[in-house]
């Protein structure tokens, strides 16, 4: 085979480094097809061997083809099946969530009707509001943080981007200053709320919130002034100057924060109040 | 000519028998395909070079398949099966291309 390239001397030129030469020699001398210059004698036996080998090659090609073709629709089927399963479960969950919320509202209506305007009803409403299970209104502060401009170099670190930790810091500072209700992008926080990151997205209670991030808090009248005096506010003003992150703090007079969805009680069971039986029907009629 | 007929016979047999590939053999299937294609192109090239030799054709096919399978098997045992499969595919792929180039030169003088 080498002879062929001696006719074309430019093809035999070394490319340079040894590694490249190795590739070049692969290309020009295809490994072992340095066939004997004088083919061996062909006997019926060797012809039969060739025929068997050729048949085996054809067999392998077809088997591989059929195997691949057979595997493809099966994979696609499984994938489609999973997708529809996920959609169905998600729809069922949404439906049940709606039912749960409706039932919760029914319970509250009935409770209000039975209790009327008594002291106990007021205490109950206050507790629900504090726990985040009822909408609340009042004066407080609105803190808005926005992502800074993206760096032009796509590989550079995006330092102006708002992270879950930034939101956590602001929320914790607001709680520490006496905020009684906090919401992020109209998602009320409860005692069990989590602010987390999943990839680039920020999740509050597993629901994504998006840029710009608006954190509203109801608390003491001078919450905005107090917040501006904290180290957190100073830090974010610094981020704003250094990385172009947006950061505004505004006092607000009439904020309304929505209720959070009731968290599921998976493991714990409430202790029944003294004097009531464990049976829910007796609890209802006892009141 | 016999080889071409035999190839067709093998294809037809594969279509009609349609065997189930056992699970342990499946990682070797792509390698076997590449080795088979390599043998086909090598054979055609040797034929056009008037150098076709039955013994070499048979032995090179069998040895290529065995060595490729051995490399993949070793790779599987060492945990680098996919990388070594890639290596085998690259080397045999280069051979297929250079053989195809030689065939092209023969048939179209280009």
Chain A closest-CA separation from residue B34 CA (Å): 9
Number of compact structural domains in chain B: 1
Using the beta-carbon criterion (under 8 Å), do A61 and B6 form an inter-chain contact? no
Q: How confident is the model at residue A275 (pLDDT cuts 50, 70, 90)?
A: low
The answer to whether position A82 is within a domain reads no
Interchain CB distance below 8 Å, B11 and A62: yes
Mean model confidence pLDDT for chain A: 80
Tell me whether residue B3 is in a domain: no
Q: Decide if pLDDT at A277 tops 60.
A: no
* Start-to-end CA span in chain A (Å): 101
pLDDT score of A154 more than 60? yes
- The confidence band for A282, taking pLDDT boundaries of 50, 70 and 90, is very low
In tens, the pLDDT along B1-55 reads 788 888 888 888 888 887 777 888 888 888 888 888 888 888 888 888 887 888 8
**Does a structural domain hold residue A148?**
yes
Q: Is residue B11 part of a domain?
A: no
Domain encompassing residue B76: 23-108
| CB spacing of B55 vs A40 below 8 angstroms | yes
pLDDT tier, A210 (very low <50, low <70, confident <90, very high otherwise): confident
Say if A69 falls within a structural domain: no
**Interchain CB distance below 8 Å, B55 and A46:** yes
Least CB–CB distance from B10: residue in A32, A35, A57: A57
Q: Does the distance separating the beta carbons of B40 and A57 come in below 8 Å?
A: yes
Nearest to B15 by CA among A230, A28, A69, A195: A69
CB A99 within 8 A of CB A105: no
Mutation target for B interface from A28, A31, A40: give the one with most B CBs within 10 A: A31
Compute the distance between CA of residue A129 and CA of residue A121 in angstroms, rounded to an integer. 12
Contact B46 A35 (CB under 8 A): yes
DSSP β-ladder status, A246-257 and A195-198: unpaired
- What is the reported pLDDT for A142? 93
Percent of chain A with pLDDT strictly greater than 90: 20
Predicted confidence (pLDDT) per residue in A40-92, tens digit: 667 888 888 888 888 888 888 888 888 888 777 778 888 889 999 989 998 99
Q: Is the pLDDT of residue B58 over 70?
A: yes
- The predicted structure's pLDDT at residue A40: 64
**Partner residue facing B14 (CB), from A46, A51, A62:** A62
Task: State which residue of chain B sits closest to A5, comparing Cα positions.
Answer: B102
Report which of A171, A148, A137 is spatially closest to residue A244, judged by C-alpha positions: A148
> In this complex, which of B10, B51, B57 lies closest to A59 when CB atoms are compared?
B10
Q: What's the whole-number mean pLDDT along residues A139-156?
A: 85
Cα–Cα distance for residue pair A175/A171, rounded to 1 Å:
6
Q: What pLDDT score does A26 carry?
A: 62
Q: Is the pLDDT of residue A202 over 50?
A: yes
Residue A1 in this model has a pLDDT that exceeds 50 = no
Using the predicted structure, report yes or no on whether residue B72 has a pLDDT greater than 90.
no
Q: Among B3, B15, B102, whose Cβ lies nearest the Cβ of A51? A: B3
Paired tokens of A33? 């097809």
A5: in domain: yes
Whether A20 is covered by a domain: the verdict is yes
In-domain check, residue B49: yes
Q: Is residue B2 in a domain?
A: no
Give the rounded percent of residues in chain B with a pLDDT score beyond 90.
0
Residue A183 lies in a domain: yes
Tens of pLDDT, residues A217-244: 999 888 999 999 999 999 999 999 988 8
Dihedral sign computed on CA atoms, order A168, A170, A174, A177: positive
> What are the beta bridge partners of residue A7?
none
DSSP string, A191-257: TT--EEEETTEEEETTEEE-SSEEEEEE--TTHHHHHHTSHHHHHHHHHHHHH--EEEEEEEEEEEE
Please give the ipTM for the structure prediction.
Answer: 0.82
Max Cα–Cα distance, chain B, nearest Å: 46
pLDDT band at A8 (very low <50, low <70, confident <90, very high): very low
Average pLDDT over residues B68-85: 86
Q: Is A142 helix (H, G, I), strand (E, B) or coil?
A: strand
Q: Which residue has the higher pLDDT, A118 or A138?
A: A138
> Chain A: residue nearest B55 by CA?
A46
Q: Which domain holds residue A166?
A: 137-257
pLDDT for A63 equals: 86
Whether A212 maps to a domain, the answer reads: yes
CATH of the domain at A151: 3.30.70.1880
Identify the band that residue A133 occupies on the pLDDT scale cut at 50, 70 and 90. Answer: confident
Domain count across chain A: 2
CA–CA separation, A61 and A63 (whole Å): 6
For residue A195, tell me if it sits in a domain.
yes
Task: Check whether A151 has a pLDDT greater than 60.
Answer: yes
Task: Provide the pLDDT confidence category of residue A131 given band limits of 50, 70 and 90.
Answer: confident
The chain B residue lying nearest A41, using CA atoms, is B53
Residue A278 confidence (pLDDT): 52
DSSP-derived secondary structure letter, A258: P
Check pLDDT > 80 for residue A263. no
Chain A residue whose CA is closest to B39: A57
Per-residue pLDDT of A17-47, as tens digits, reads 555 666 666 666 654 555 555 666 678 888 8
B6 falls within a domain: no
């Amino acid at each position: 085979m080498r002879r062929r390239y001696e006719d074309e001397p430019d093809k035999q030129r070394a490319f340079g480094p040894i590694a490249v030469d190795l590739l070049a020699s692969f290309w020009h001398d295809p490994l072992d097809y340095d066939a004997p210059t004088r083919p061996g004698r062909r006997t019926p036996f060797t012809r039969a061997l060739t025929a068997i080998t050729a048949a085996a090659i054809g067999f392998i090609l077809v088997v591989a083809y059929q195997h691949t073709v057979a595997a493809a629709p099966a994979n696609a089927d499984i994938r489609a099946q999973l997708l529809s399963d996920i959609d169905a479960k998600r729809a069922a969950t949404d439906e049940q969530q709606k039912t749960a919320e409706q039932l919760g509202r029914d319970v509250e209506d009935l409770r209000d009707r039975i209790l009327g305007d008594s002291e106990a009803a007021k205490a109950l409403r206050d507790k629900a509001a504090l726990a985040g299970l009822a909408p609340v209104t009042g004066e407080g502060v609105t803190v808005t943080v926005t992502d800074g401009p993206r760096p032009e170099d796509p590989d550079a670190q995006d330092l102006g981007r708002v992270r879950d930790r930034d939101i956590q810091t602001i929320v914790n500072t607001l709680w520490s200053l006496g905020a009684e209700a906090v919401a992020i992008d109209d998602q009320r926080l409860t005692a069990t709320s989590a602010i987390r990151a999943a990839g680039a997205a920020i999740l509050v209670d597993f629901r994504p919130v998006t840029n710009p991030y608006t954190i509203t808090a109801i608390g003491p009248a001078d919450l905005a002034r107090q917040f501006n005096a904290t180290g957190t506010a100073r830090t974010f003003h610094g981020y704003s100057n250094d990385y172009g992150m947006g950061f505004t703090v505004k006092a607000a007079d009439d904020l309304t924060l929505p209720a959070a969805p009731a968290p599921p009680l998976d493991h714990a069971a409430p202790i029944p109040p003294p004097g009531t039986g464990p049976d829910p029907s007796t609890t209802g009629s006892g009141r | 000519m016999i080889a071409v007929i035999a190839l067709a016979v093998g294809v037809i047999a594969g279509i009609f028998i349609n065997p189930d590939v056992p699970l342990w053999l499946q990682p070797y299937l792509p390698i076997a395909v590449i080795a088979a294609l390599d043998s086909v192109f090598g054979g055609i090239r040797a034929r056009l070079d008037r150098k076709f030799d039955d013994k070499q054709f048979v032995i090179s096919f069998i040895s290529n398949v065995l060595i490729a399978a051995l490399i993949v098997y070793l790779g599987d045992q060492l945990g680098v099966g996919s990388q070594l499969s890639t290596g085998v595919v690259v080397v045999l792929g280069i051979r297929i291309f250079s053989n195809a180039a030689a065939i092209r030169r023969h048939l179209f003088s280009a």
